[in-house]
Amino acid sequence: MTGGPITGGPLTAGPVLALSGAAVEYRRAGQRVRALDGVDLAIAPGEIVGLVGESGCGKSTLARAAVGLVPLAAGTVSFEGLPVAPLGLRRRPGRLRGLQIVFQDPYESLNPRRKVGDLIADGVLLAGGSRADRSRADGRARAAELLQRVGLPATAADGYPHEFSGGQRQRIAIARTLAARPSVLIADEPISALDASAQAQVANLLTVLVREEGIGLLLVSHDLAVVRQVADRVAVMYLGRIVEIGAVATVWASPVHPYTQALVAAIPRADGGGVLPADLPGDVPDPASPPSGCRFHPRCPVARDDCAVTEQLLVPVSGRQVACHVRAPLPASGDPAGPDPAGPDPAGTAPAARGPQSPEPGAASLCG
Amino acid sequence: MSALLEVENLTVALPTRAGYRNAVDDLSLSVGLGEVVGIAGESGSGKTITALSLFGLLPNGARVTGSARLDGTDLLALRGRALRAVRGRQVAMVSQDPSASLHPILTIGTQLTEHMRYHLGVSKSEANSRAAELLDTVRIPDPEQALGSYPGQFSGGMRQRIAIAIALAAEPRLLVADEPTTALDVTVQAGILRLLDRLCRERDLSVIVITHDLGVMSALARRVYVMYAGRLSEAGDTSRLLTRPRHPYTRGLLDALPHPEAGQAALVPIGGTPPSLGAVPGGCPFQPRCAYAQASCAETRPAAVQASGETAPHLLACPPDPLRDLAQPRSRSIP
């Protein structure tokens, strides 16, 4: 079986969530820090897009910008065709209720003093409009239903969050987002705080929900191995920019960008081979003063002199898009070496190239 | 290889509302000179309590029986001055979170030289030059300047390297690393794993690495002890244990991992959750979650004994031994 959720050809409805040229700036000690710098990303209904990279690369900033928790310095985020922008308390329009986020730490995201059923019923009441429209009893009934949906007994509604394990709490957090009947879920490191076995349970639960309910999922994770197992497409970020994006099977099987290669090579394999994973020296630079040209060049094993000068654009190559002019040169006109039949497309108007192994869902206008 | 550390029949009982319960139950293990040994298991399996018992750092009220001999000295019997002479000097610890284990308002130099001077009695200038050498060993750029810096000025990976340097400052013989890379990125993790491996080989350092990540285990440890609910469920050579596990729990841990070579498919979790300290089931503690459980499993608590058919030492606490002829993962299918 392939992991493709909507393998029945091209996207008809268009992306349900789209970031275009999205940039986010923070102020730190009078300096402007650009944590996200011109990112294009689209998620189709029923699709799982993985977002990977080291700490400090802007993954969480992207997740927060995508749900309108932080303002954009440039670019747009649109949900179901309408713009997403941060607004004050109680001013978030009802049409954004279908855009939900699951946070990393279920020990902090659930109010410890409220019963699980009430936490979920709140979501039901809000999703149903004003409190007058729906009774609390309706909310409790729906909460019980949602708890069963995420694999917990309905009686869990009467417990407090501390009575549950980490994996169970993350299920409760997911049930609460489901109360709003989301069409897009943003999950920011939803399983990295959990034990290996609980990780597998929650990852499977998210996959099932996405496939059965046609929810678009952005799965933010530092763990490429997990993303590879559940996602359809993967975007690799470095210092606020996407450096490689494509079908997960393609990117995993033959990473092109040196950074993606380093991430894949650094994963220790539980095969008993006693092989030490490959090292990537250095740390992610401070985004307040990013390196010139290609931002990865100071750590890059294949960097040339001109990498410090030239900005890198995403270029289609071998069935995915890569921002590295050493590994994925901008093909000159009629370049016979260009492996991609679609040719160069810096404007990003044509569909991304398809992976050879699997039919790629939602390939249209992902990146430019 | 002669054993540096011999833990025998270690039992740690902790007070709970329902009375004393064994967080570690009759555990025996050994670590050779210059050997890396792993302890694996989910949260609550007793891994960290085992480590803390070696340092006399158990919570108040804990009752310990058994022995842990480091070159003949029973670490569990040490108190006061005798304990301080061993702790940091003979055995040292690196914990999971370097931002919690380093003192935020003392310089790296102070933290590095403090117990070096206490244990080794070296002069201040000698301690400083040794500290700079150590930072160089763990690949901190510009060690001289780093000595005057504070932990907050370094990244997470750098802080963990510094924590390792501090642990090594008094030249211990045994390093206990409790989830040393769990809080770090994979790229940074790879650097720390290579560092630990190099230190073992260059300094004949023995290491106990505690982790739930079998990938880390595979890269670093020569032998692995798998714990479940405070008890040893399986132990053996890493390569053998990870390629042909005999205990259903070890198999379950492996199946729950994303598998690099498998096609894209759902992960296979172990059903249920590990028991809490107060509610360890009778018989085999894993039996309620075990896909291969038999009626007899609920009756007697199995002890870890040499597994039949293994030529090398391989302990197994599973009398039915259902995986004896099963090397393959359980079927993977999309739910």
Q: A283–B158: do the CB atoms touch at under 8 Å?
A: yes
- HEC letters along chain A: CCCCCCCCCCCCCCCCEEEEEEEEEEEECCEEEEEEEEEEEEECCCCEEEEECCCCCCHHHHHHHHCCCCCCCEEEEEECCEECCCCCCCCCCHHHHHEEEECCCCCCCCCCCCCHHHHHHHHHHHHCCCCCCCCHHHHHHHHHHHHHHCCCCHHHHHCCHHHCCHHHHHHHHHHHHHCCCCCEEEEECCCCCCCHHHHHHHHHHHHHHHHHHCCEEEEECCCHHHHHHHCCEEEEEECCEEEEEEEHHHHHHCCCCHHHHHHHHCCCCCCCCCCCCCCCCCCCCCCCCCCCCCCCHHHCCCCCHHHHCCCCCCEEECCEEECCCCCCCCCCCCCCCCCCCCCCCCCCCCCCCCCCCCCCCCCCCCCC
Q: Is residue B81 part of a domain?
A: yes
Residues B83 and B199 occupy one common structural domain: yes
B185 in reach of chain A (CB within 8 A): yes
B72 in reach of chain A (CB within 8 A): no
Q: What is the structure's pLDDT at A365?
A: 36
Please choose, from the candidates B214, B258, B167, the residue with its C-alpha nearest in 3D space to the C-alpha of residue A224: B258
Nearest C-alpha of chain B: how many angstroms from A165? 8
Q: Please give the DSSP secondary-structure letter assigned to residue B314.
A: -
Q: What is each CA distance from B121 to A171, B88, B125, B127, in whole angstroms?
A: 54, 14, 12, 9
Domain end, chosen from B118, B152, B171, is at B171
Contacts of B253 in chain A (CB under 8 A): 196-197
Residues B286 and B253 occupy one common structural domain: yes
Please choose, from the candidates B213, B110, B95, the residue with its C-alpha nearest in 3D space to the C-alpha of residue B160: B95
Q: Is residue A334 part of a domain?
A: no
Alpha-carbon distance of B33 to A212, in angstroms, equals 54
Q: Is residue B265 part of a domain?
A: yes
Residues B81 and B217 occupy one common structural domain: yes
Contacts 24+ apart (CB under 8 A), A333-337: none
Asked whether residue A339 carries a pLDDT value surpassing 50, the answer given is no
Task: Give the highest mean pLDDT range of A121-135, A205-219, A345-359.
Answer: A205-219
Q: Is residue A8 part of a domain?
A: no
pTM (2 d.p.): 0.82
* Range(s) of the domain holding residue A293: 17-80+183-322
Q: Is residue A241 part of a domain?
A: yes
Alpha-carbon distance of A22 to A49, in angstroms, equals 17
Q: Is residue B262 part of a domain?
A: yes
Q: Is residue B221 part of a domain?
A: yes
Greatest alpha-carbon pair distance for chain A in Å reads: 67
Asked whether residue A271 carries a pLDDT value surpassing 70, the answer given is yes
| Angle between the N-to-C axes of helices B124-137 and B108-120, in degrees from 0 to 180, rounded to the nearest 10 | 120
Please choose, from the candidates A315, A235, A202, A193, the residue with its C-alpha nearest in 3D space to the C-alpha of residue A48: A235
Q: What is the structure's pLDDT at A254?
A: 92
Q: Is residue A337 part of a domain?
A: no
Domain end, chosen from B171, B197, B222, is at B171
User: pLDDT digits over B32-69, tens only?
Assistant: 999 999 999 888 889 989 999 999 999 889 999 999 99
Contacts of B161 in chain A (CB under 8 A): none
User: pLDDT digits over B202-226, tens only?
Assistant: 888 999 999 988 999 999 999 999 9
Domain end, chosen from B171, B193, B225, is at B171
Q: B242–A270: do the CB atoms touch at under 8 Å?
A: yes
Which has more pLDDT, A193 or A145?
Answer: A145
Helix (H) or strand (E) holding B177, with range, is strand B174-178
CB atoms within 10 A of CB A233: 29
User: What is the domain-level CATH number for residue A40?
Assistant: 3.40.50.300
Of A129-133, B250-254, B263-267, the range with the lowest mean pLDDT is A129-133
Nearest C-alpha of chain A: how many angstroms from B275? 10
User: pLDDT digits over A29-76, tens only?
Assistant: 788 889 999 999 999 999 999 999 988 888 989 999 999 989 999 999
Name the residue in chain B with its Cα closest to that of A259. Answer: B187
Residues B314 and B199 occupy one common structural domain: yes
* Range(s) of the domain holding residue B277: 1-90+173-327
Q: Is residue A173 part of a domain?
A: no
Asked whether residue A82 carries a pLDDT value surpassing 80, the answer given is yes
Q: What is the structure's pLDDT at B166?
A: 93
Name the residue in chain B with its Cα closest to that of A261. Answer: B187
Residues B216 and B315 occupy one common structural domain: yes
A232 in reach of chain B (CB within 8 A): no
Residues B66 and B81 occupy one common structural domain: yes
The domain tally of chain B equals 2
The domain tally of chain A equals 1
A262 in reach of chain B (CB within 8 A): yes
Residues B189 and B137 occupy one common structural domain: no
Q: Is residue A131 part of a domain?
A: no
B284 in reach of chain A (CB within 8 A): no
Question: Would you say A270 and B242 are in contact if contact means Cβ atoms under 8 Å apart?
Answer: yes
pLDDT category at A186 given cuts 50, 70, 90 is: very high
Q: B157–A283: do the CB atoms touch at under 8 Å?
A: yes
Q: Is residue B334 part of a domain?
A: no
Alpha-carbon distance of B161 to A124, in angstroms, equals 48
Alpha-carbon distance of B278 to B275, in angstroms, equals 8
Q: Is residue A60 part of a domain?
A: yes
Q: A3–B264: do the CB atoms touch at under 8 Å?
A: yes
Residues B97 and B237 occupy one common structural domain: no
